[in-house]
Structures are given as C-alpha cells and as structure tokens.
Amino acid sequence: MKSKIKHYMKEILFFAVLTIILANAISLYKSQDLSQKPLDIQNFKLIDHQEYKIPDKKPIMIHFWATWCPVCKVEASNIDYIAKHFNVVTIAVNSKNNADIQKYMQKNHYSFKVVNDNNGMLSSKFHIAGFPTTFIYGKNKKLLFSDVGYTSTLSLYLKMWWASLSK
C-alpha cells in the first residue's frame, strides 16, 4: 500500500512539474509579440475618475484583463494581493462601462486600481492578443517580465521583488 502511495505521489509531482514547464513555455511563446518598449505612459485615468500618476523610480506592474475572461477571474485574487504590496495598475479590456467594472470589483471584494480600456487603445498600444497579460517594469521603466495567461501569486511577488532590486 505504501509503495502505491509513493508511486502516485511521484506521478502527481511529475504532472505538476510538467504542467508548470508547459505553462511557462506557452506564456513565453505568446509574449513574443508583446510590446518590449520602455513604459512611456506617465499617468492613467482610473474608473473612479481619479488620475493615477506612475511613481518615479519604483517598479510597476501593468495587468491587462477582462471581466468576461475565465482565467482572469481565477487570477484576480493574485493581482489583488500583489496590489496591496507593490505598484499595480490593471487595465480592463472590453469590459463594458466603469459602473459595470466597479460592480464586478465590489462583488468580488477587489481593491486594485483599474483603467477601463473599452475602446481597446491601450491593449493595441501594448500589442495584447490574449488575457490575462502582465507586464512588470523596473525602476527605470524598462520591461523586465511579461506573461500571457495565468501567473501564480508567488511568481508575481518574486518578479516584483526582483524589479524592486533592479536599477
């Protein structure tokens, strides 16, 4: 019985490692066409009509998502956690109007900053082809990381921590 449990544990571990490798390979492939330019945006208008100024000499995460995206819904709590510890701006694409996005945020108890990209201008500027898509910029606003698809809280936290160490 114990050997069967060991065997199944090895199988599960192998499958988990293989899944992580495959997910990262797919993300790397999908992120090839994303904009690699340094962040040249100085501020964003949030759905609550406030202006959010990109902080100088601090890393920032720009996260593209949509209220209708199933993977985005699973990842949203990760983004909310990271936003409590680092500078994060999220961009809701084709997600109706500001009031609808605010209802979605309230219903799910999320507090991250949101920009409504209902006309797709920002997603076009960043060459977004899939959701969710995440960009992490260093203190000098140069792109350090980009991910397409689900990203774990640990991965996002480590990338933002690394970005905070960058020059």
Q: What is the mean pLDDT of the chain?
A: 88
Name the pLDDT band for 10 (thresholds 50, 70, 90): confident
Reported pTM = 0.83
What count of other Cβ atoms lies within 10 Å of the Cβ of residue 30? Answer: 16
How high is the pLDDT of residue 144?
Answer: 93
How high is the pLDDT of residue 7?
Answer: 72
pLDDT higher than 60, residue 160:
yes
What count of other Cβ atoms lies within 10 Å of the Cβ of residue 24? Answer: 14
Report the distance separating Cα 160 and Cα 11, nearest Å: 32
Name the pLDDT band for 2 (thresholds 50, 70, 90): confident
pLDDT higher than 70, residue 17:
no
The type of residue at 125 is: K
The predicted model gives 53-80 an average pLDDT of: 95
Name the pLDDT band for 33 (thresholds 50, 70, 90): low
pLDDT higher than 60, residue 156:
yes
B/e letters for 84-113, b = 16+ CB within 10 Å, e = fewer, are eebbbbbbbbebeebeebeebbeeeeeebb
Name the pLDDT band for 62 (thresholds 50, 70, 90): very high
137 and 131 Cβ atoms separated by less than 8 Å = no
